[in-house]
Amino acid sequence: MNHFLDIHLTAPQDLRQIIDSAATMKEARKGRTRGAPDDDLPLEGRMVALIFEKPSTRTRVSFDVGVRQMGGETMVLSGQDMQLGHGETIADTARVMSRYVDLIMIRTFDEAVLTEMAEFATVPVINGLTDRTHPCQIMADVLTYEEHRGPIKGKKVVWSGDGNNVCASFLHAAGQFGFDLTFAGPATLDPEKEWVEFARGKGSTIEIERDPQKAVAGADLVVTDTWVSMHDAQSARERRHNQLRPYRVDAELMSHAKPDALFMHCLPAHRDDEVTSEVMDGPNSVIFDEAENRLHAQKAIMRYCLGV
225 part of the active site: yes
Q: Which of 3, 172, 294, 296 is the catalytic position? A: 294
107 part of the active site: yes
265 part of the active site: no
32 part of the active site: no
Q: Which of 6, 64, 102, 225 is the catalytic position? A: 225
Q: Which of 69, 137, 176, 298 is the catalytic position? A: 137
Task: Please give the single-letter amino acid code of residue 92.
Answer: D
Distance CA 230, CA 37 (A): 35
Q: Which of 134, 248, 265, 303 is the catalytic position? A: 134
Catalytic residues: 107, 134, 137, 225, 266, 294
